[in-house]
Amino acid sequence: MRHLIAGNWKMNGLAAEAAALAEAVAQGCPVEADLLVFPPATVLTLVARILAGTPVAVGGQDCHTDGSGAHTGDVSASMLRDAGATWVILGHSERRAEHHETDDIVRQKVNAAVACGLNTIVCVGETAEHRREGRQAEIVGWQIAGSLPKDFTGVLAYEPVWAIGTGRTPTEAEVEEMHGFIRGELRRELGVNGEKVCILYGGSVKPSNAAALMALPDVGGALVGGASLVAADFLSIARAAAALSNGSAGG
Ligand code: 13P
pLDDT tens across 133-142, in order? 999 999 999 9
The pLDDT of residue 251: 39
189 included as an active-site residue: no
**Marked catalytic residue, from 3, 64, 92, 179:** 92
Res 233: pLDDT: 98
Q: Which fold has domain 4-232+240-245?
A: TIM Barrel (3.20.20)
Q: What is the pLDDT of residue 30?
A: 83
Residue 117 Cα to ligand 1 middle (Å)? 25
Which of 5, 8, 61 has the most ligand 1 atoms within 8 A of CB, as the residue to mutate?
Answer: 8
> Domain map of the chain by residue range?
4-232+240-245
226 Cβ below 6 A of ligand 1: yes
Ligand 1 and 223: CB distance under 6 A = yes
Return the best residue to mutate from 87, 95, 159 for the ligand 1 pocket (most ligand atoms within 8 A of CB).
159
How sure is the predictor about 248, in pLDDT bands with cuts at 50, 70 and 90? low
Q: Mind listing the pLDDT tens digit for each residue in 35-65? A: 999 999 999 999 999 999 999 999 999 999 9
Comparing CA positions, the residue from 24, 15, 87, 27 lying closest to residue 57 is 87
Ligand 1 atom with minimal separation from the 92 CA: 10
Instruction: Assess whether the C-beta atom of 91 lies below 6 angstroms from ligand 1.
Output: no
Is 4's pLDDT higher than 90?
yes
pLDDT band at 249 (very low <50, low <70, confident <90, very high): very low
**Closest residue (by CA) to atom 1 of ligand 1?**
225
Is there a contact between 223 and 202 (Cβ–Cβ < 8 Å)?
yes
Residue nearest to atom 9 of ligand 1 (CA): 225
The pLDDT score that the predictor gives to residue 41 is 98
Amino acid, res. 18 = A
- The CA–CA distances, whole Å, from 188 to 135, 139, 148, 158, 214 equal 19, 16, 12, 17, 24
pLDDT higher than 90, residue 186: yes
One-letter amino acid at 111 equals N
Whether the per-residue pLDDT at 89 is higher than 80: the answer is yes
31: how many CB neighbours lie within 10 A of its CB? 9
pLDDT digits (tens, 9 = 90+) for 213-224: 999 999 999 999
Question: Which candidate in 94, 159, 185, 189 is catalytic?
Answer: 159
Averaged pLDDT score across all residues of the chain: 96
pLDDT of residue 1: 78
C-alpha–C-alpha distance, residues 232 and 122, integer Å: 26
Flag the least confident range among 104-118, 186-200, 236-250.
236-250
In the chain, the percentage of residues whose pLDDT exceeds 70 is: 98
